[in-house]
Amino acid sequence: MFAIYKKELSSYFNSTLGYIIIALYLLFSGFFFWMICFNSGANALADVVNYMLYIVFFLVPLITMKSFADEKHQHTDQALFTAPVGLWEIVLGKYLSALTLYALCNLVFIFYALILMAVTGATIAWGHLLGAIIGIILLGAAMLSLNLLFSSLTEHQIIAAVVGIATGLVFMLYDSIVGAVENFINTLFGGDYQVVVLDKLSVTSHYQNFYKGILSPVDFVFFLSFVVLFLFLTNRVLDRRRWV
Amino acid sequence: MVEVKNLVKSYGNIDAVNNISFTANVGEVLGFLGPNGAGKSTTMNIISGYLSATSGTVTIDGYDIVDEPKEAKKRIGYLPELPPVYQEMTVKKYLNFMYELKKATQPREEHLNEIMKQCGILEISDRIIRNLSKGYRQRVGVAQALVGNPPVIILDEPTVGLDPKQIIEMRTLIKNLGKKHAVIFSSHVLSEVSAVCDRIVVISQGRIVADEATNKFSYMNTEEMKLTLTVEGTSATVISAVSSVDGVTKVRRGDRQSDSVCNYSVEYKKDVDVRKGIFRALAKADCPILQMKDAGMSLEEMFLTLTTPTYQDKGGRD
């Protein structure tokens, strides 16, 4: 597993992809940082994290799009799948390297906090900020596992990215979509129905708990099961390939 | 070392591989011969564990590729049809990655240098694979298969895309590998297979149609043997003289070389040596023999006979 992890991580930095992702992350977060903390003068770094949420849904698919699609396309998967390593080692190696790159991007918020302290002398609400950072990392971790699955389903990285971004859009607007469904049902049947279960699957509302500073095991378990589910499905997709 | 039993791979109603069985041992180069689309690559992909068979088993050194994939795969070095190289890596980095991926235990520097030397890629070890020619990429692919020194080496058309000099080097390499490994290698170039392999397995439309030692190969499956003659004299005399020899079944006139010199092809029964008889008969008819050659059945003819559907409809060999 470690060999694959190492190779994947270094391949992000041997190609332009890793740098593009980091650059985009810095660009957007820097823009929000400047807007909120300097232009509006609010000492609210956690809100910067909050805004980045909109970007994460579009950036995450770029991190994993190559993972399995490109291996298949370049026929290098034949080396991976005929080597004496298990499928789980391959899936986890790829997943953890993507997660590492993503987590590295999020380190930038710590630097913003230090800059803010140095320039304005403001005191940072570390608890609030760290909660938001943990939240955004967990949300990204969940989306990474889903996008890894998309990458294993196709041979073309662009398809994996496009499907990932479209799905990301759905997850981003999930609460509004559920609300719209609720409204639709209520006007149709004229009542005050509430959608249950479905609203619990919103990744953004689970993130919001972290942003609010609530570190509840429920949210941890939610994200963890999300990741496990989609890594498991990825594993199954790769295993199935041998049979068709 | 490699034991393949009743292997079947079906895609819907089509059997890409149909009941293939054979074994390959250490110290042996097994040539896998067949026209394009015969099922060579599919079979190799199944042996290496990349694909799963519909039915049948593959065991490597006693380890089943499905039940104990890690142990089995440890013992295989595989070069697929297209070398599985990462374009953005240098040769050295790539081989280092394969070394770690395969969990090899040999002293790293020494082992990788040895392999690069063997494959003739030592001088390009710092170049990025993307910029290499097809021939060099192919050699990097072979080098990758040798990492970890597995006892079984499977090479799928390793000489495709190489120039003549590289082909000769590759053949020498394969022959040398055959001394200490079980080598299975596929090709549709017949001369190559006969030059390198100890045994040839011919596969056509997913079935094995021949499995013989190379030196026995060109004579098997034929009732009739063939000679070609170049004789001076009138054709009628020559044909009647040769036909009178015991064991000769058929004489045909071939190309005319000059007014009085002609080529003839003579078919005769297996197990009878007709050469002396032909010599005496033609000497008696005062027709000097300018050349006499055992035509056997060339590998090409053999191959065509074995792989044309009509032969298989007669039953072929399972």
Are the beta carbons of A82 and B50 separated by less than 8 Å? yes
> Which span out of A161-165, B120-124, B177-181 was modeled with the highest average pLDDT?
A161-165
Is the separation of the CB atoms in A80 and A219 below 8 Å?
Answer: no
What is residue B1's predicted lDDT score, i.e. its pLDDT?
86
Are the beta carbons of B85 and A11 separated by less than 8 Å? no
Strands (E), chain B: 2-11, 14-24, 28-33, 55-60, 63-64, 76-79, 152-156, 182-187, 199-204, 207-213, 224-232, 248-256, 261-269, 289-294
Which is nearest to B78 in space by CA: B100, B50, B106?
Answer: B50
Give the angle subtended at the CA of B158 by the CAs of B103 and B218, to the nearest 5°: 125
pLDDT of B107 > 80? The answer is yes
pLDDT of B222 > 70? The answer is no
Residues of B within an 8 Å Cβ radius of A: 11, 45, 48-52, 69-71, 73-74, 76, 78, 80, 82-89, 97-98, 100-103, 144
Confidence of residue A23 (pLDDT cuts 50, 70, 90): very high
What is residue A29's predicted lDDT score, i.e. its pLDDT?
94
Read off the pLDDT of residues A140-155 as tens digits, 9 standing for 90 and up: 999 999 999 999 999 9
For residue A243, list chain B residues with Cβ-Cβ distance below 8 A: 51-52
What is residue B217's predicted lDDT score, i.e. its pLDDT?
63
For residue B143, list chain A residues with Cβ-Cβ distance below 8 A: none
Shortest Cα distance from A164 to chain B (angstroms)? Answer: 25
Q: What is the mean pLDDT of residues A160-172?
A: 95
For residue A74, list chain B residues with Cβ-Cβ distance below 8 A: 84, 86-87
Are the beta carbons of B86 and A243 separated by less than 8 Å? no
Q: Quick one: tokens of A117?
A: 């302290």
Interface test mutation site (partner B, options A9, A66, A78, max chain B beta carbons within 10 A):
A78
Say if A240 is an interface residue toward chain B (CB within 8 Å).
no
At A131, phi and psi to the nearest 5?
Answer: -60, -45
For residue A2, list chain B residues with Cβ-Cβ distance below 8 A: 100
Could you count the other beta carbons within 10 Å of the beta carbon of residue B210?
Answer: 20
Q: Domain containing A145: what range? A: 2-242
At B263, phi and psi to the nearest 5?
Answer: -95, 145
Q: How many whole angstroms separate alpha carbon A195 and alpha carbon B179?
A: 71
Percent of chain B at pLDDT exceeding 70? 90
DSSP state letters, B237-265:
HHHHHHHTSTTEEEEEEEEE-SSSEEEEE
What is residue A107's predicted lDDT score, i.e. its pLDDT?
92
Is the separation of the CB atoms in B108 and B184 below 8 Å?
Answer: no
Read off the pLDDT of residues B55-90 as tens digits, 9 standing for 90 and up: 999 999 999 999 999 999 999 999 998 999 999 899
CB-side neighbour CA atoms (13 Å) of B181? 24
Say if A180 is an interface residue toward chain B (CB within 8 Å).
no
pTM for this prediction = 0.83
For residue B52, list chain A residues with Cβ-Cβ distance below 8 A: 242-243
For residue B48, list chain A residues with Cβ-Cβ distance below 8 A: 78, 82
Q: What is the mean pLDDT of residues B221-231?
A: 75
What is residue B219's predicted lDDT score, i.e. its pLDDT?
53
DSSP state letters, B201-228:
EEEETTEEEEEEEHHHHTTTT-SEEEEE
Is the separation of the CB atoms in B95 and B109 below 8 Å?
Answer: no
Task: Tell the residue number behind the tokens 């053949």, with chain if given.
Answer: B171
Residue B175: exposed, middle, or buried by beta-carbon count in 10 A (0-12, 13-18, 19+)? middle
Any idea which of A11-15, A62-66, A194-198, B203-207 has the lowest mean pLDDT?
A194-198
Say if A83 is an interface residue toward chain B (CB within 8 Å).
yes
Which is nearest to A175 in space by CA: A153, A207, A143?
Answer: A207
Shortest Cα distance from A70 to chain B (angstroms)? Answer: 10
Which is nearest to A136 in space by CA: A200, A63, A62, A47?
Answer: A47
Q: Which residue would you say has higher pLDDT here, A228 or B237?
A: A228
Are the beta carbons of A82 and B78 separated by less than 8 Å? yes
Q: Quick one: tokens of B268?
A: 């005769």
Q: Which residue would you say has higher pLDDT here, B179 or B194?
A: B179
Read off the pLDDT of residues A60-108 as tens digits, 9 standing for 90 and up: 999 999 999 999 999 999 999 999 999 999 999 999 999 999 999 999 9
pLDDT of B318 > 50? The answer is no
Strand partners, B59: B3, B64
Q: How many whole angstroms separate alpha carbon A226 and alpha carbon A139?
A: 10
pLDDT of B266 > 50? The answer is yes
Could you count the other beta carbons within 10 Å of the beta carbon of residue B114?
Answer: 15
For residue A238, list chain B residues with Cβ-Cβ distance below 8 A: none
> Count of domains in chain A?
1
Are the beta carbons of B48 and A86 separated by less than 8 Å? no
What is residue B317's predicted lDDT score, i.e. its pLDDT?
44
Is the separation of the CB atoms in A115 and A122 below 8 Å?
Answer: no
